[in-house]
Chain A
Amino acid sequence: MQRSTRLKRELQMLTTEPPPGISCWQSDDQIDDLRAQIVGGGNTPFEGGLFSLEVNVPERYPFEPPKIRFLTPIYHPNIDNAGRICLDALKLPPKGAWRPSLNISTVLTSIQLLMAEPNPDDPLMADISSEFKYNKKVYLEKARSWTEKHAVQRNYGQVKSGEKAPEVLSKDSSRKREPLKEQPQESKRVCL
């Protein structure tokens, strides 16, 4: 009952005053299925990248947090291979910190912050986390190369002569995760 009025209002706010570097919209007229984009922040290994996310709004929203997942692969201690994000605002108390005073816009802003400031003490990807902690140079290089490989939007205008444009287009579809409900391996998950 509360979900529809609230979502309508939130989408309106996201359209008229979106947070900096973030956009969010309804996909295919389905009220509970949103898409979002976060621009990789400056001075981070994600600079120059555009990261797509899937925002699923549960029936009991805003009493339950939105389910948010990265569609664009990202090399980050708190984001796993399936794009799932370890962030307390995305979980209900007592484990998490979701409350109805938060909304899709503020949660996306928190994710943007998490990208810039990983939290290695609550990792989802143990190996990336230890790399971030003890071998930051390697982490930054890998994260940057992942960004370059998966998140950089290549436009026709930037395509150098000799390179084939259609190939770039087909790459575009392959660098995204399909918005599936498949269950990835649980082995590396540490985050609670």
Chain B
Amino acid sequence: MMDSQIMTENPLLLPLNKDKTVYDGFITVQERDFRIRISLPPGHQLKQAKLHCCWQLKRLLSGYQPILKQRLHHAPDLVSFILELKTVLELAMRSRPDCQTIPPPQYYSQLITEMQSLGWDKLLFIDSEFRTLKLQGEDSAGRKHILTVKLKPNYPDEAPECVADLPFPFLMSWTPQSTLAHIHGRFLLHLEGLAEFWSALDEIDEQTWVLEPEKPSRADAMRRIAIGNNVSIKVEIDPRHPKMLPDCCLLGAEHVVTPLRTKLNANMHLWNPDCSILQNMRDVLEIEFPSPSTHEKSSLSAECGICYAYRLESAIPDQVCNDPRCGQPFHQVCLYEWLRGLPTSRQSFNVLFGECPYCSKPITVKMAVQKA
């Protein structure tokens, strides 16, 4: 009865002797056959069974030996053990995609034909396995961009994975007839659609002091721009509508920020979609932004009054004493750490109420987020 079950579930695994202590043949997992030989002691105890695996199987199962040993000890019979072995194998194959078969020769010939029609000058890089390509594209303003294409072994039946430094994921519809030239053409279209967005950001990056991100990538649509000492504006530009009024958030002490916010609200109707974002912000806020040609960055990026650094890990001092005569900036972590140790501080929900360490005027800080 057990033999027939082994036979039906593993038709390629056969007993080699009359005592049925040696089985040899193949087990099939995910349409792949693996050679295996199982030797049992005369009493057929599974605990003392020996497995001989082909090298592919050995490689896949390396690291799983303790699990297999345990399964071998607990399995009631050979059938259930083989079932367990297959489950483990399936798991191992899933976590080891590199064990997949290498692509057929057509894969390479097709790749070369496609690259020839696209032009080798577009290829910046290819890895030694011919799986990952980096293609170059240029937008109308002459900015260079890179598209990373990861080909699947069954390319072109399966769509390749495309990654680029864009504000949104690079998507395209894929058919088995699509080629690298299609991908590249689509990429250029994306770049063209974003050229205006990047021009707006380039203007900001060149003419103002950007406090955040420290080193903006082409995907970053956010800029925190310095306005004055400890005052800045955070704008989130819509990549699809780069000339429209962006999401704005003014940061700094209340007494400086409030008049700016009032102006922003009062002049919002003056926003002119034909002008650049920077020009519009100047007009609406009625200010000139400090620029690298007129100001030193150190005069704008005031350090935290507690740790004396501007950047603490990646955080910048965004807590500011609201007293106009003080205006001392702090990192949230630093201010929280100081206030929480003081007997004079009071806590209400996740907000600490204490005194500014510089001017002793009331100051509040939200609880520090615990990093894992």
CB contact under 8 A between A9 and B308, given known A2-B334, A100-B338: yes
Contact A5 B357 (CB under 8 A): no
Residue numbers in B under 8 Å from A100 (CB-CB): 305-306, 334, 338, 357
Which segment of B192-200, B268-276, B341-349 sits at the interface? B341-349
Contact among B303, B309, B343 for A94, CB-based, below 8 A: B343
The answer to whether A149 has its CB under 8 Å from any CB of chain B is no
CB contact under 8 A between A10 and B357, given known A2-B334, A63-B337, A94-B343: no
The answer to whether B312 has its CB under 8 Å from any CB of chain A is yes
The answer to whether B358 has its CB under 8 Å from any CB of chain A is yes
Residue numbers in A under 8 Å from B126 (CB-CB): none
The answer to whether B307 has its CB under 8 Å from any CB of chain A is yes
Contact A6 B307 (CB under 8 A): yes
Residue of B nearest to A62 (CB): B306
Contact A63 B338 (CB under 8 A): yes
Contact B344 A6 (CB under 8 A): no
Residue numbers in A under 8 Å from B357 (CB-CB): 99-101
Residue numbers in A under 8 Å from B338 (CB-CB): 63, 99-100
**Size bracket of the A interface:** 10 to 19
Contact B344 A101 (CB under 8 A): no
Contact among A6, A99, A101 for B309, CB-based, below 8 A: A6
Nearest CB on A from B328, distance (A) = 8
A62 and B333 CA atoms in complex are apart in Å by 13
How many chain B residues touch A (Cβ–Cβ < 8 Å)?
18
Q: Is the interface of B mostly helix, strand, loop or mixed?
A: loop
Contact B306 A93 (CB under 8 A): no
Residues of chain B from 322 to 365 with CB closer than 8 A to chain A in the complex: 328, 334, 337-338, 341-344, 357-358
Nearest CB on B from A51, distance (A) = 27
A151 and B89 CA atoms in complex are apart in Å by 80
Residues of chain B from 252 to 303 with CB closer than 8 A to chain A in the complex: 303
Residue numbers in A under 8 Å from B334 (CB-CB): 2, 100
Residue of A nearest to B303 (CB): A9
Contact B337 A5 (CB under 8 A): no
A62 and B344 CA atoms in complex are apart in Å by 18
The answer to whether A1 has its CB under 8 Å from any CB of chain B is yes
Contact A2 B312 (CB under 8 A): yes
Residue numbers in A under 8 Å from B358 (CB-CB): 101
Contact B342 A10 (CB under 8 A): no
Contact A9 B309 (CB under 8 A): yes
Residue numbers in B under 8 Å from A1 (CB-CB): 307, 312-313
Contact B344 A94 (CB under 8 A): yes
Nearest CB on B from A133, distance (A) = 32
Contact A62 B343 (CB under 8 A): no
Residue of B nearest to A102 (CB): B357
Residue of B nearest to A93 (CB): B342
Residue numbers in A under 8 Å from B341 (CB-CB): 63, 92
Residue of B nearest to A98 (CB): B357
A10 and B307 CA atoms in complex are apart in Å by 10
Residue of B nearest to A7 (CB): B308
Residue numbers in A under 8 Å from B313 (CB-CB): 1
Residues of chain B from 306 to 322 with CB closer than 8 A to chain A in the complex: 306-309, 312-313
Residue numbers in A under 8 Å from B342 (CB-CB): 93
A92 and B357 CA atoms in complex are apart in Å by 12
Residue of B nearest to A5 (CB): B309
Nearest CB on B from A7, distance (A) = 9
Residues of chain A from 1 to 56 with CB closer than 8 A to chain B in the complex: 1-2, 5-6, 9-10
Contact B307 A2 (CB under 8 A): yes
CB contact under 8 A between A10 and B344, given known A99-B357, A100-B357, A101-B357: no
14 A-B pairs (CB sep. < 8 Å): A1-B313, A2-B307, A2-B312, A5-B307, A5-B312, A9-B308, A10-B308, A63-B337, A92-B341, A93-B343, A94-B343, A99-B338, A100-B305, A101-B357
Chain A interfacial positions (CB closer than 8 Å to B): 1-2, 5-6, 9-10, 62-63, 92-94, 99-101
Chain B interfacial positions (CB closer than 8 Å to A): 303, 305-309, 312-313, 328, 334, 337-338, 341-344, 357-358
